[in-house]
Amino acid sequence: MAFDEAAIRRHMLVTPGAMAAADERTIAGGTERAVLIRRAARAITRVLRSRYAKQPTVILCGPGHNGADGISVAEMLIEAGWPVEVVLLDENQDLSDRLGVLSRVRPSGTFSPRAGMLVIDALFGAGLSRLLEGEALMLIERLELSQATCLAIDLPSGLDGQTGEIRGAAPYADATVTFHRLKPGHLLGHGPERCGKVFLADIGIEAEEDDAGALHNHPDLWRHLLRPSKRDTHKYEKGHVTALGGPGLKGGAGRLAARAAAVSGAGAVTYLTPLSSAEFAAASFDAVMVAPFHGPDSVTDLTYKRGGACVFGPGMGHGDAAKEALLAVLETEIPCVLDADALTLFEKKPGELFEKLHPNCVLTPHEGEFSRLFGEMEGSKLERACKAAKKAGAVVLLKGSTTVIAGDGLPLVNSNGSAALATAGAGDVLAGLIAGFLAQGMAAAEAAAAGAYIHADAASGQGPGLEAEALPPLIASVLKNLVAPTH
């Protein structure tokens, strides 16, 4: 099974280099650059006029294609009667054939953004590969610190289109209009906070699958893999999840993972816990089965009998028996999710884990666990996750407000994260949910992508009082809307 091919083309993220190549490919195919500029300007103007009332507007125009878009927007707004001024980064730019715009040009030194003013940032786009400096830096710093409303073209100037990092300064845009496909920088690093609402415009750029540097996670990619239930489906046909919990007071995390697996659509879940905790665990569940954990054989015997998938880590503890059980199950190559304690167990000897991992494994570290397991890595979150996946030989889901999923195919960026998920136990729920999808036959990357999106969507609209215990029923509701029943 794999991601939907048509959806891949719709939801691919294009690097700045690939975007420049796509531009040139389209022009070589017979579309004049001036035509692309006019199409971009019309798209920008449509967004602008639908979103903002007529007001004093300043357009900051750089020396490249972004600046050309800005000048074309200026012409359209002037024609519509907007009060427009233009600031050129290159004040020697020849506008002799565009007298309407030329009459609106003002010296950069007069740029004084303020509340009640709309500023269109057309200085630099995704192709910026250096720190802002000089006059450009001065203009953007003034805008960044002001109360003016900013509409950015392509990306806010100074925001790296590949990484989302800030190159000197970058404004806080209320909205950003970009073209063809989103860039990684819209979603990574400071991108979400600086871009505001992102509008994607089709201006006729020719798309090729090779342009994709990553995918923007979306249900279109994996919805077809969610297994609808037929009337005569048996529970074990829907997959079995084994969740290994820990002793005594640490069991709550494991129980959260088990509950999440149970609402994923998996047919059955067994929660293994030390005998001393089994009675308490059994009293905590209605639909999840409980069995005593005596050592590695408890897990391997169950997985041999039931198959499916395992989730290790939430509340598992750091004991030798748990570690031995994990390594024993990895030997069988049954699909596994490793989270929390399952990662911490190997932070001093990560190679011991890496040599046992296989492509059906999903690791779900947060940034701290990631650094302890993989060491300090350079690069963007996307680049680091890809390096880690290659090193581990497994799928790595690097958690955060923006989550990255990397395996042996195109990585995915999940951007629908919610601040409500910053609560104890939310990660345990995610681990169990992914295990549930693995048990139903999804491949590791697809299960991780579906889990990340659905987990975040379940928390969407919830306030700061969200508790992890509330997530499983919310997840069930999201799944109900995603999966069409089969009769």
Known binding-site residue numbers: 65-69, 121, 125-131, 154, 157, 253, 315, 366, 399-403, 427-428
Give the whole-angstrom CA distance, residue 253 versus residue 429. 8
Q: How far apart are the first and last CA of the chain?
A: 23
Q: Which residues are annotated as a binding site for K(+)?
A: 66, 121, 157
Q: Which of 179, 187, 178, 181 is closest to 212 using CA atoms?
A: 181
To the nearest 10°, the Cα dihedral for 169, 371, 412, 380? 30
Neighbours of 474 (CB within 10 A): 20
Secondary structure (H, E, C), 114-140: CCCCEEEEECCCCCCCCCCCHHHHHHH
* Angle (deg, nearest 10), helices 426-439 and 444-459: 140
SS3 category, 339: coil
Residue 108, token pair as written in the block: 């950069």
Angle between helices 33-51 and 16-28 (to 10 degrees): 120
DSSP classification of residue 230: P
Cα angle 87-93-95, degrees, rounded to a multiple of 5: 90
Binding-site entries for (6S)-NADPHX: 65-69, 125-131, 154, 253, 315, 366, 428
* The two structure tokens encoding residue 368: 């701290």
Residue 435 near residue 468, CB atoms below 8 Å:
no
Q: What is the dihedral of CA 73, 115, 183, 46, to 10 degrees?
A: -40
**Which residue reads 């697809």 in tokens?**
446
**Residues 151, 121 contacting (CB under 8 angstroms):** yes
User: Can you say which residues are annotated as belonging to the binding site for AMP?
Assistant: 399-403, 427
C-alpha separations of 353 from 51, 272, 445 in Å: 52, 22, 19
Cβ distance 429 to 472 under 8 Å?
yes
SS3 79: helix
Tokens of 95: 């506008």
How is residue 166 annotated by DSSP?
B
Task: Report in angstroms the alpha-carbon separations of 286 from 238, 255, 278, 324, 442.
Answer: 19, 12, 14, 29, 26
How many CA atoms, within 13 angstroms, populate the side-chain half-sphere of residue 36?
A: 22
